[in-house]
């Protein structure tokens, strides 16, 4: 077995551990009559051991891949997102040892699982570093920034638990709608995983020539059936599906097709869940959080931001500026990825001020934590997908 294969296997093992630990945390939460009962402690202990085992395997993946590639595995979308998923687990373990609450694991681990599954939909081969990325600051900056974001993500997990407990899912309210919208978005990510896996199992490929926005002829290969065609497309692969519509030069129709497929698969998945459960996902999850301690969740939500904010500032802004100064000769260039890091930072600054000075506790604070996570994921996914700047990987 080569080092790369070992690395891949370790990641798979970690993934399975996280799935198992989620079930165990579920057992801890469900089996307990009240919080901190004996049965909860027993299951919780087992669950955290499995989580740590998975985390060690995950670190093993990271280290072996680092050795194999000769650089830290944070240099493309797959590697970075996987590292982020790993750090979410790490941040959860950290917070678990402060607050010992299995409820958090029941929600944090599935989020990490979804992130890692999402990551593995991108090309997984090792790639060499382009000159701009050849710097120790790459590792320092990316690892610290991802760690900061992961700790902030735990705040959103606590917020989500708080909201599931406190939003009344029996009445038609704005809160109920938005909470379900968050759940739907998570299902969409699964839809992306499902559609990408389906088409890659089918080995789907279709090539087109087209004219790009600089009016130059180009070629592109789709990995999903082309729902949308590129500007002035001509099919190069015989017998491919005829795109339903041609897009203007500005729109990357390949990405649009991928996203649309993810949306279709996700919506069907969501529909199936609702059909089988006969209730919304929020309502489905609500019984699980009945016993959650609201004050504690509120506290964790705030504490995670307090712990994560300095780490995020250091990694995503300060180290980023030092590196940008070395690599691009200026510490700040208003590149979209930079700007979105700044936006994230400003958002959490606003969160802290609202909480400290304007008394935004409880539900308001929980919503803010969830929105913060959405901004982080937007920077991770959408900025790479839509607004590509200097940082766009691969």
Q: Which of 171, 148, 167, 170 is nearest to 159 (CA)?
A: 167
302 part of the interface to other proteins, by CB under 8 A: yes
326 binds, among other proteins, ligand HEM, none (CB under 5 to 8 A by kind): other proteins
Q: Residue 52 or 318: which CB sits closer to other proteins? A: 318
Query: What does 60 bind: ligand HEM, other proteins, none (CB cut-off 5 to 8 Å by kind)?
Result: none
Is 63 near other proteins (CB under 8 A)? Answer: no
Q: Output the DSSP codes for 9-78.
A: HHHHHHHHHHHHHHHHHHHHHHH-SSTT-HHHHHHHHHHHHHHHHHHHHHHHHHHHHHHHHTS-S-SSHH
**Contact status: 343 vs ligand HEM (CB under 6 A):** no
Which of 3, 349, 390, 394 binds ligand HEM (CB under 6 A)? It is: 349
Please tell me whether residue 346 binds ligand HEM under the rule CB under 6 A: yes
Residue 353 interacting with ligand HEM (CB under 6 A): yes
Among 284, 389, 392, 393, which residue interacts with other proteins (rule: CB under 8 A)? Answer: 389
User: Is residue 394 a contact partner of residue 124, using CB atoms and an 8 Å limit?
Assistant: no
Is the separation of the CB atoms in 236 and 219 below 8 Å? yes
Nearer to ligand HEM, 352 or 387 (CB): 352
CB of 305 to other proteins, least distance (A): 9
Binding residue for ligand HEM, selected from 98, 356, 388, 394, defined by CB under 6 A: 356
Q: Can you tell me the distance from the alpha carbon of 309 to that of 238, in angstroms, rounded to the nearest whole number?
A: 53
Binding of ligand HEM by 357 (CB under 6 A): yes
Q: Which of 6, 327, 352, 385 binds ligand HEM (CB under 6 A)?
A: 352
Closer by beta carbon to other proteins, 239 or else 329:
329
Residue 268 touches which of ligand HEM, other proteins, none (CB < 5 to 8 A by kind)? Answer: none
What does DSSP assign to residue 218?
E
53 is a site residue for other proteins (CB under 8 A): no
Q: Minimum CB separation from other proteins for residue 82, in Å?
A: 16
Check binding of 128 to other proteins (CB under 8 A): yes
Q: Do residues 103 and 290 lie in contact, with contact meaning Cβ atoms separated by under 8 Å?
A: no
Spatial neighbors of 112 by CB under 8 A, at least 6 apart, are 18, 85, 86, 88, 89, 92
CA dist 347 and 340 (Å) reads: 10
Reduced to 3 states, what is the DSSP secondary structure of residue 245? strand
**Identified binder of other proteins from the candidate list 313, 369, 372, 384, rule CB under 8 A:** 313
329 sits near ligand HEM (criterion: CB under 6 A): no
Asked if 217 is part of the footprint of other proteins (rule: CB under 8 A), the reply reads no
Length of the chain: 394
**Under rule CB under 8 A, residue 47 binds other proteins:** no
Separation between Cα atoms, residue 24 and residue 21, nearest integer Å: 5
Residue 182 touching other proteins (CB under 8 A): no
Q: Binding residue for other proteins (CB under 8 A) from 283, 339, 371, 385?
A: 339
| Among other proteins, ligand HEM, none, partner that 320 touches (CB below 5 to 8 angstroms by kind) | none
Interface with ligand HEM, residue 358, by CB under 6 A:
no
DSSP conformation letters of 159-180: HHHHHHHHS-TTS--HHHHHHH
For residue 106, give every residue at least 6 positions away whose Cβ sits within 8 Å of its Cβ, in sequence order, or none. 22, 25, 26, 28, 29, 288
Name the phi and psi angles at 209, rounded to 5.
Answer: -100, 150
Provide, rounded to whole angstroms, the least separation between the CB of residue 33 and other proteins. Answer: 16
Query: What distance separates the 2 farthest-apart alpha carbons in the chain?
Result: 69
Size of the site for other proteins (CB under 8 A): 68
Query: How far apart are alpha carbons 392 and 145 in whole angstroms?
Result: 16
Strands 245-246 and 228-229: parallel
The residues of the shown chain that bind other proteins, judged by CB under 8 A, are: 2, 4, 68-70, 99, 123, 125-132, 134-135, 137, 166, 213, 248-250, 293-296, 298-299, 302-303, 306-307, 309-310, 313-314, 318, 321, 325-331, 334-336, 339-340, 342-343, 346-347, 349-350, 353-354, 356-358, 361-362, 383, 387, 389, 394
Which residues contribute to the site for ligand HEM (CB under 6 A)?
Answer: 346, 349, 352-353, 356-357
């Amino acid at each position: 077995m080569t080092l790369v294969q070992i690395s891949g296997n370790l990641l798979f093992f970690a993934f399975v551990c996280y799935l198992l630990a989620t079930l165990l945390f579920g057992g801890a939460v469900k089996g307990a009559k009240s919080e901190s009962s004996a049965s909860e402690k027993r299951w919780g202990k087992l669950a955290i051991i499995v989580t740590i085992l998975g985390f060690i395997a995950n670190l093993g993946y990271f280290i072996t891949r680092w050795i194999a590639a000769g650089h830290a595995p944070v240099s493309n979308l797959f590697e970075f997102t996987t590292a982020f998923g790993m750090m979410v687990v790490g941040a959860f373990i950290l917070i678990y040892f402060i607050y010992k609450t299995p409820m958090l694991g029941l929600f944090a681990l599935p989020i990490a699982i979804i992130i890692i599954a999402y990551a593995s939909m991108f090309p997984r081969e090792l790639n060499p570093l382009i000159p701009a990325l050849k710097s120790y600051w790459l590792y320092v900056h990316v690892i610290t920034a991802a760690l900061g974001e992961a700790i902030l993500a735990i705040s959103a997990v606590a917020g989500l638990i708080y909201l599931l407990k406190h939003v009344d899912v029996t009445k038609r309210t704005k809160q109920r709608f938005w909470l379900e919208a968050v759940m739907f978005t998570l299902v969409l990510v699964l839809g992306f995983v499902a559609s990408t896996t389906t088409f890659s199992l089918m080995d789907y490929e279709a090539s087109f020539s087209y004219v790009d926005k600089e009016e130059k002829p180009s070629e592109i290969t789709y990995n999903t059936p082309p729902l949308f065609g590129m500007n002035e497309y001509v099919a190069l692969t015989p017998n491919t599906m005829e795109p339903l519509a041609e897009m203007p030069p500005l729109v990357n129709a390949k990405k649009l097709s991928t996203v649309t497929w993810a949306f279709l698969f996700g919506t069907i998945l969501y529909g199936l869940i609702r059909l089988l459960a006969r209730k919304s996902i929020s309502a489905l999850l609500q019984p699980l959080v009945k016993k959650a301690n609201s004050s504690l969740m509120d506290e964790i939500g705030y504490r995670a931001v307090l712990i994560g904010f300095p780490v995020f500032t250091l990694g995503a802004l300060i180290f980023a500026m030092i590196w940008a100064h070395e690599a691009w000769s200026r510490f700040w260039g208003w590149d979209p990825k930079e700007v979105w890091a700044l936006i994230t930072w400003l958002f959490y600054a606003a969160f802290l001020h609202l909480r400290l000075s304007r008394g935004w506790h409880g539900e308001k604070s929980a919503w803010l934590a969830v929105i913060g996570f959405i901004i982080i994921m937007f920077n991770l996914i959408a900025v790479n997908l839509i607004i590509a700047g200097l940082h766009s990987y691969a």
